Amino acid sequence: MRVFNFSAGPAVLPEDVLRIAAGEMLDWHGSGMSVMEMSHRGKEFIGIAQAAEADLRTLLAIPSNYKVLFLQGGAIGENAIVPMNLMHGREVADYVHTGEWSKKSIKEAKKYGRVNIAASSEEQGFTCVPDRASWRLTPDAAYVHICSNETIGGVEYPWTPDTGDVPLVADMSSQILSRVIDVAKYGVIYGGAQKNIGPAGLTIVIVRDDLLDRALPITPSAFHWKEQAAADSMLNTPPTYAIYIAGLVFRWLLALGGVAAIEQRNISKAKLLYDCLDASDFYSNPVRREHRSRMNVPFTLPDPALDAPFLRGAADRGMVQLKGHRAVGGMRASIYNAMPVAGVEALVAYMKDFERAQR
Ligand SMILES: *Cc1c(COP(=O)(O)O)cnc(C)c1O
């Protein structure tokens, strides 16, 4: 029996995708082998990778002057790879600090150049996105970095900041493909696949052409965007199986009607859960309303002693991975694209029962 898996990542995948992958495991389309066993230079796998890229381009309407790279190292790796690829000849990079994941990005960037914290919500306990008007940007910065959805704090940008001529770089690990975005407003978008796309091991980087000439000479070839772009992300062996599964997820999304369609479903799922939190004085969520994440919903119970019984009861009903991150405590429900509405409905029903049972 499948559970409702609320893990923040690696996370739930569409059951349809898992079934297709299971059916193709031993013999992919008459090739006599599994995708895992194929050469990345063979025509079968090159076809798989090209289809995955084309479908991602369709889903996000990626303009033709952007490269799509399938790399490795995760978003934490990319936190270092970004400054390596963009800091050449530049002094400063601007960062907006909105929580745990921005903090990690800032820590890595400091190894490669000077970091200016252009804005921070630290004083608000990382419960909001700082107003754009308060940002103190550096006019000739290498780039401005944001984390568009803080997976741990549950804080999400509802808008795309305008950074003028300075390229906007976003860690979109837990937001990509959950809502319609205008790629042209970004210089670079990156994210690990294991939240909303596929298995761990694949990092997606979408980078505007004109930003490919700014790499520090120390940049390793495997992490050098221009070299990887010239080699169709196959300068080294790419994470072939993860790319294949990501491609199946892209097809699944296209069949559902694309990003605009899943965004509507995501809005209703998030509303179900936040309405439940707001209707109760038992559960709480500290995030400013307009910055609440649609993907990751942290909440607390009135007494941490209730956490363990809450989690046990949830597991008994087939709902797992609801324990909050150690940095914030309490609970966290991650409700990515592949989480069915029925999973959120089951969680809300359980939360109401649990609350009632405490009175
Ligand atoms: C999960 C996550 C990461 C870390 O990704 P890794 O693949 O573990 O490197 C970074 N940023 C955000 C926003 C995340 O959600």
Tell me the per-residue pLDDT of 202-250, one tens digit each, with 9 for 90 and over.
999 999 999 999 999 999 999 999 999 999 999 999 999 999 999 999 9
> Average pLDDT of 153-182?
98
Q: Which residues are catalytic?
A: 101, 171, 195
Q: Are 324 and 10 in contact (CB under 8 A)?
A: no
CA distance linking residue 294 with residue 346, whole number of Å: 17
Ligand 1 binding pocket mutation candidate from 71, 72, 76 (most atoms within 8 A of CB): 76
Ligand 1 atom closest to the CA of 148, numbered from 1: 13
Under 8 Å between Cβ of 144 and 137: yes
14 lines ligand 1 (CB under 6 A): no
Mean pLDDT of 261-270: 98
Average pLDDT over residues 293-306: 97
Atom 7 of ligand 1, nearest CA residue: 74
pLDDT of amino acid 328: 84
335, pLDDT greater than 90: yes
Q: Residue 287 is encoded by which pair of tokens?
A: 């995030």
Give me the percent of the chain exceeding a pLDDT of 90.
Answer: 98
Three-state secondary structure call for residue 146: strand
Query: At residue 350, does pLDDT exceed 90?
Result: yes
Domains with residue ranges and CATH for the chain = 15-256 (3.40.640.10), 257-358 (3.90.1150.10)
pLDDT of residue 14: 98
The pLDDT score that the predictor gives to residue 102 is 98
With b for 16 or more beta-carbon neighbours within 10 A and e for fewer, the 133-148 pattern comes to eebebbeebbbbbbbb
Give pLDDT, residue 271.
98
Distance, in Å, from the CA atom of 120 to the CA atom of 113, rounded to the nearest integer, reads 19
Residue 154 Cβ inside 6 Å of ligand 1? The answer reads no
Atom 10, ligand 1: residue with shortest CA distance? 75
Residues whose CB falls within 8 Å of the CB of residue 248, separated by 6 or more in sequence, listed in order: 17, 20, 21, 198
Q: Which of 7, 151, 205, 297 to mutate to test the pocket of ligand 1 (most atoms within 8 A of CB)?
A: 151
Q: Which amino acid is at 148?
A: S
- Whether 359 has a pLDDT exceeding 90, the answer reads no
What pLDDT was estimated at residue 282? 97
Residue with CA nearest ligand 1 atom 5? 75
Q: Which H, E and C letters describe 29-47, residue by residue? A: HHCCCCHHHCCCCCHHHHH
State the average pLDDT for the chain: 97
How far apart (Å, rounded) are the C-alpha atoms in residues 157 and 150? 9
Is it the case that residue 176 has pLDDT exceeding 90? yes
Give the tens place of pLDDT for each residue, 24-77. Answer: 999 999 999 999 999 999 999 999 999 999 999 999 999 999 999 999 999 999
Q: What integer pLDDT is reported at residue 306 of this predicted model?
A: 97
pTM of the prediction?
0.98
Say if CB 194 and CB 11 are below 8 A apart.
yes
Q: How far is the CA of 171 from the centre of ligand 1 (A)?
A: 8
Q: Which of helix, strand or coil describes residue 94?
A: strand
Say what the pLDDT of residue 1 is. Answer: 85
- What's the mean pLDDT in 135-150? 98
Residue 151 Cβ contacting ligand 1 at under 6 Å: yes
Q: What is the pLDDT of residues 98-141, one digit of tens each?
A: 999 999 999 999 999 999 999 999 999 999 999 999 999 999 99
- pLDDT tier, 327 (very low <50, low <70, confident <90, very high otherwise): confident
Mean pLDDT, rounded, for 338-353: 98
